[in-house]
Amino acid sequence: MTMLGNFDFDVIRRALPYLFLEGMRFTLTLTALAAFGGLVFGTLIALMRLSSYKVLGRIAGFYVDFIRSLPLVLVIFWFYFLVPYIGQWVTGASRPITVGAFASSLITFIAFEAAYFSEIMRAGIQSISKGQPAAASALGLTYAQSMRYVVLPQAFRNMLPVLLTQTIVLFQDTSLVYVLSIPDFLGAASKVAQRDGRLVEMYLFAALVYFVVSCVASFGVRRLQSRIAIVR
Amino acid sequence: MIEINHVNKWYGPTFQVLKDCTTSVAKGEVVVVCGPSGSGKSTLIKCVNALEPIQGGDIVLDGVKVNDPKTDLPKLRSRVGMVFQHFELFPHLRIIDNLRLAQEKVLGRKSEDATAKGMKLLDRVGLKDHAKKFPAELSGGQQQRVAIARALAMDPIAMLFDEPTSALDPEMISEVLDVMVDLAREGMTMMVVTHEMGFANKVADRVIFMDRGEIVEDAKKADFFGTPRSDRAQKFLSKILQH
């Protein structure tokens, strides 16, 4: 009997609503929120690194190096078990506070992505010529206004393809939340696989879905990139 | 209007870009600053609105000391227009939005007032039809005229020009100079760093010649072009007026 002859497509079909309505929805929500949060905090870290206050720059630099030296899956794991105790210590509560697996993994991903996005935004800000903030200042805009209205929009636009590519990597990385037994897309596929004893079908299907989504997204980014190149 | 008193400036610990510079620009006066490249003329004009810090002396703008740490610099800068060599329009904003941004965010003007003012000034520099375009769609000369209009939209008490035509193709220089000449004739207080001696001859009240960070000559236009006292100014003039 060949492997494919034994392949049960029906097990996939039956699991589809669960895989997508629960699993994929969770994965996409986590990806979107982590990308958004990572971009916001990443931009702040980038501004700190480029700040004329040396101390701020050093703190931000240390944070980025620190985060990038740790395996993500370990941090997800540790964070989930540690946050309740840290929360207890901070709030002075008598018992460890309860933090859901979703909140815990979201915070971890934002913290991680902030480090990566900050390096992208730093490069983006540095790609803007010094004359731009000078012109903004000469018109009377404050530092914050010049960043908000002149520098950051251009930095963001220039870096959009790189930011989106990083988000595709993030989309794949969210599968690591399986260590917390969260039913993200991979977790959901894994659950069905274990329950029905259909490991080959479910893991192959999961791989195919990740591959197709990432590929289509990458293609979209490349098209966007060439469009931006024309506009500039 | 602009007083520059014994200004000293260093880049790093050893290189002195400005050496004891003293001059002034009276209300309604047009002063042209010229000199060889690296003479510190661009640096001097950038010190006037504190885009560059100074280490010695002081600069007073309409009674406000620019190099006082307590001075509200954004507010001070909003009252002086500046035009840059490379235009520095904001490339992600349409022309009209380039003119609106500071009016709204700095002066707090309402959107429709800022737009009306912006359109009036675009009309004045002959670019009303380009309001909806992006800067990259305009020629260098057009971009520089927009930059002048953007500065004028803030109702400045004085205008600073930092080599406004140096980055332009020759055929576009006159369209920018025409706008500047009109402005000078209307009585705008202007400090202009430029090599355009024709412009200086036409509208300047005084010409300042700088070399190696020093103000070598500061004279009325007629005196400067007639009988420059310093050797260096004479050499410079003979070189650029040769052609």
pTM of the model: 0.88
Residue A1 lies in a domain: no
Residue A82 lies in a domain: yes
Beta-carbon pairs below 8 A across chains A and B: 66
| Domain count across chain A | 1
Q: Residue A232: pLDDT above 60?
A: no
Contact B194, B161 (CB under 8 A): yes
Say what the pLDDT of residue A80 is: 87
| DSSP tag of A57 | H
- Best to test chain B binding among A130, A132, A139 (most B CBs inside 10 Å): A139
Residue A2 lies in a domain: no
Which ipTM value was assigned to this complex?
0.92
Mean pLDDT (whole number) for A18-23: 88
Residue A109 lies in a domain: yes
Of residues B51, B73, B91, nearest to A134 (C-beta): B51
- Best to test chain A binding among B76, B80, B92 (most A CBs inside 10 Å): B92
Give B18's strand partners: B9
Question: What distance lies between CA B25 and its chain's CA centroid?
Answer: 12
Residue A111 lies in a domain: yes
Residue A142 lies in a domain: yes
Using the Cβ of B53 and the Cβ atoms of chain A, whether some distance falls under 8 Å is answered with: no
Would strands B190-193 and B158-162 be described as parallel, antiparallel, or unpaired?
A: parallel
Say what the pLDDT of residue A1 is: 45
Cα B58 to Cα A120, B23, B154, B184, distances in angstroms: 40, 11, 25, 26
Owner of token pair 């404050």? A142
The pLDDT-based confidence of A231 (bands split at 50, 70, 90) is low
Residue A4 lies in a domain: no
Say what the pLDDT of residue B132 is: 95
The string of pLDDT tens digits covering residues A157-213 is 999 999 999 999 999 999 998 888 888 999 999 998 888 888 888 999 999 999 999
Search chain B and give the residue with CA nearest A130.
B88
Distance from the Cα of B189 to chain A's closest Cα (Å) equals 17
Of residues A139, A157, A231, nearest to B78 (C-beta): A139
Burial class for B88, CB neighbours closer than 10 Å (0-12, 13-18, 19+): buried
Go through B28-49 and write b for each residue having 16 or more CB atoms within 10 A of its CB, e for each that does not: ebbbbbbbbeebbbbbbbbbbb
Using the Cβ of B43 and the Cβ atoms of chain A, whether some distance falls under 8 Å is answered with: no
Say what the pLDDT of residue A2 is: 52
Residue A164 lies in a domain: yes
Range of the domain at A48: 9-228
The three-point CA angle A218-A165-A29 to 5° equals 95
Q: Which parts of chain B register pLDDT below 50?
A: none
CATH number for position A44? 1.10.3720.10
Using the Cβ of A130 and the Cβ atoms of chain B, whether some distance falls under 8 Å is answered with: no
